Amino acid sequence: MPEASAAPPPAKPSKSAPQKAMEKLGLVRDIDLALHLPLRYEDETRITPIAALHDNEPAQVEGVVVDCQVELRSRRQLLVRVKDDSGTLLLRFLHFYPSQQKQMSAATRLRVRGEARIGFFGREMVHPVVKVVDDDTPLAASLTPVYPASAQLPQAYLRKAVASGLARADLREILPPGVVPRGLPSLKDALNYLHHPPPSASQEALHEHHHPAWHRLKFEELLAQQLSQLQAQRERARLVAPALQGRPGGLHEKLLAVLPFQLTGAQQRVAEEIARDLARPQPMHRLLQGDVGSGKTVVAALAAAVAIDAGWQCALMAPTEILAEQHFRKLIGWLEPLGLRVAWITGSVKGKARQKMLEAAASGEAQLVVGTHAVIEDKVKFAKLGLAIIDEQHRFGVAQRLALRNKLKAMDLEPHLLMMSATPIPRTLAMTYFADLDVSTIDELPPGRSPIVTKVFTESKRHDVVDKIRMAVADGAQVYWVCPLVEESEAIDLRNATETHAELSAELDGHAVGLLHGRMSPADKAAVMAQFSSGAMSVLVATTVIEVGVDVPNASLMVIEHAERFGLAQLHQLRGRVGRGAKASVCVLIYTPPLSDTGKSRLKAMAETTDGFEIARRDLDIRGPGEFMGSRQSGAELLRFADLQEDAPLLVAARELAPRLLDEHPEAAQRQVARWLGTKAEFLKA
């Protein structure tokens, strides 16, 4: 393909600084340049009479220099007076070269562009852009683009490079006629328009990306993204996985029988969706999402039971040791009575114990292996890994998911993959970045939960909060008290957990107050958690180590200090540690003013809703998709042009077209992906 080859401008033996800067911006192929769109435009297509200038508005005037002199008032400056038929304008330069003074000598005709200020002494422009012209120098025929550039890349150089890239790029229509939404221009027309809009163009429509030319681009981009996801999905469907089918009366049924509760309707439904996937000889790639406390663990255990019943092993990986340990205890409690062997592998399991666990996994003797990132280390071998479960999947990267899948490569089979997350993916994101993922949603909480009431206080009310806690604790309540940092940092004045622990111990004299933070040894952490779980401890002062998954149903009060320092998803996760039992729960957010705007919207969202989906939607609003995705990025390139909120209709159109294009015009689909994603498309399939 021509657009994949030559780099502009003509190749030289060694690259100049601007060329390197262009590469850094990803401007390598002609098509990359053609797709490098202006940030804004300058209007050099018209001349405004000096008398018609408005205060603070950019404009271009043309006139003849009346005089030009260096003045030494408070500071040295160059003052140039320019005159046209309607009036005079003063140009003021606070920094200037002698050459400029020469350039603007009397009687020279100048075209001047800048923002006018109309003051007591008349009209002036400070540091305008000045060009020497003749009386017949033509005006620009189109608006002048201003591109995203960098310090090493002068605007003028980039403008030339883009113009020639645009001229050279192969912009022939790839899409067959009739498939592009009506009213959109061709790609070539759209790009020409956006790089060089006519004088009549609405700067507003351009700036707000509402112009049909913009829509065409967004559609193209969304389509390429949908196509690449669809391809990845189809390629995965060609892989082979062991078909895992639980036997009637098998392990999963036995597990259901020993559970101390009935599954909710939602849990039953998702468990069936997962079981159907497992029974197929294609690898499952499913996300199980459900709000905090919705009961994902038991669904995971049921999936594990099916896999094990079918004669395969299951690995369950959690992002923190505390969470892994909690899963381990819970699963042992459920599964060992059924005769299963559960192994436990984390960074802190060492020496002989570790050796034993590794052997149990490698021999297949341990049907279930639970642990942290340690589970994917090379040394950990499985005899027959059939199912990998990743809890709180957004805490893991693509590489780690791939590593888990590769654990079965020796047999030329892929294991099934079940990912779990309490942070739901908003619909538009699910349709784009996670199009290659099947999603099961638990949309119902187990019965008997009472809603959590959230209250927001400033730091000055801390005393009242402590008083309330004293009363609650005397009444048998259990409390989490969350602090943001472990140790006092000189730069950030945060109350540290240790200090808070000492204070609360004194303030709540007679009640057991424990401390949990990331610098403690795993054994100490486990001991503290055990005390809190058993009810022997009333208050647990903790850092965010308790953020994910910790489950102590009796805890009903959560205090988060410096709540303004946490992200929305994190606050929601933390709050999810309470409201797990029948007791009415309260979450208190203490903040230190002043609050930033985003800080305000986060606390407001927390106070207004406990619905994880609503929280995720607002989080996306506050942060935008780029940050929202964070480490969840599935390796997909963030969209450059389309806005998932605003462009949902275009997304729907692209999503509908993608399968049709791939089936009926596979070659066009290929070219579309290559044009937009270049070499990144390959990575998506990895």
**CA gap 534, 552 in Å, rounded:** 9
Q: Dig out the tokens for 69 from the structure.
A: 């002199």
Q: Please count the other Cβ atoms lying within 10 Å of the Cβ belonging to residue 199.
A: 13
Residue from 197, 386, 549, 625 binding Mg ion (CB under 5 A): 549
Alpha carbon distances (Å) from 288 to 100, 263, 487, 562: 67, 15, 36, 31
Asked if 599 touches Mg ion (CB under 5 A), the answer is no
Residue in the shown chain whose Cβ atom is closest to Mg ion:
549
- Interaction partner, residue 592 (ligand ADP, Mg ion, none; CB < 5-8 Å by kind): none
From the list 196-204, 292-300, 404-412, 616-624, the region that binds ligand ADP by CB under 6 A is 292-300
- Considering the rule CB under 6 A, would residue 192 count as an interface residue with ligand ADP? no
Say how far apart CA 295 and CA 263 lie, in whole Å.
Answer: 9
Sheet holding 438-442, edge to edge: 342-345, 368-371, 313-317, 385-390, 416-421, 285-290, 438-442
Asked whether position 426 contacts ligand ADP by CB under 6 A, the answer is: no
Contacting ligand ADP (CB under 6 A), which of 446, 518, 567, 635?
446
From the list 228, 231, 294, 320, which residue makes contact with ligand ADP (rule: CB under 6 A)? 294
Pick from ligand ADP, Mg ion, none: which does 123 bind, CB < 5 to 8 A by kind?
none
Rounded CA Rg of the chain: 32
Give the footprint of Mg ion on residues 157-176 (CB under 5 A).
Answer: none
From the CB of 126, what's the least distance to Mg ion, in Å? Answer: 60
Could you tell me if 88 and 112 are in contact, meaning their C-beta atoms sit under 8 angstroms apart?
A: no
**Torsions phi, psi of 420, nearest 5?**
-125, 145
Structure tokens at 73: 């008032």
Closest CA to 405 of 424, 422, 387: 387
Q: How far is the CB of 628 from Mg ion (least distance, A)?
A: 21
Q: How many residues bind Mg ion (CB under 5 A)?
A: 1
Which residues does 624 contact at the CB level (< 8 Å), separation at least 6?
Answer: none
What's 43's DSSP letter?
-
DSSP state of 676: H
Please identify, among the stretches 281-289, 532-540, 549-557, 563-571, the one whose residues bind Mg ion according to the rule CB under 5 A.
Answer: 549-557
Among positions 296-315, residues that touch ligand ADP (CB under 6 A) are 296-298
CB of 30 to ligand ADP, least distance (A): 50
- Using DSSP, state whether 633 is helix, strand or coil: coil
Q: Which stretch binds Mg ion (CB under 5 A): 268-276, 544-552, 563-571, 574-582?
A: 544-552
Q: The tokens of 23 are what?
A: 């590469």
Query: Are 234 and 410 contacting, i.e. CB atoms less than 8 angstroms apart?
Result: no
User: Three-class SS of residue 590?
Assistant: strand
Q: Distance between CA 216 and CA 190 in Å, rounded?
A: 7
Minimum distance of Mg ion from residue 569's CB (angstroms): 14
242 binds, among ligand ADP, Mg ion, none (CB under 5 to 8 A by kind): none
Return the one option of ligand ADP, Mg ion, none that residue 454 interacts with (CB less than 5 to 8 A, by type): none
Question: Binding to ligand ADP by residue 267, rule CB under 6 A?
Answer: yes
Question: What angle do the packed helices 321-335 and 522-534 form, to 10 degrees?
Answer: 60
Determine if 261 is a binding residue for ligand ADP (CB under 6 A): yes
Tell me the C-alpha distance between 426 and 569, whole Å.
13
Rounded Cα–Cα distance for residues 646 and 658 (Å): 20
Closest CB 448 distance from ligand ADP, rounded Å: 7
Specify the residue, 285 or 580, whose C-beta has the smaller distance to ligand ADP: 580
Contact with ligand ADP (CB under 6 A): which of 42, 253, 551, 621? 551
CB of 291 to ligand ADP, least distance (A): 7
Whether the Cβ atoms of residue 239 and residue 283 lie closer than 8 Å to each other: yes
Which listed range, 173-181, 256-264, 337-345, 366-374, lies at the site for ligand ADP (CB under 6 A)?
Answer: 256-264
**Residues engaged in binding Mg ion (CB under 5 A):** 549
**Residues engaged in binding ligand ADP (CB under 6 A):** 261-264, 267, 290, 292-298, 422, 446, 549, 551, 553, 580
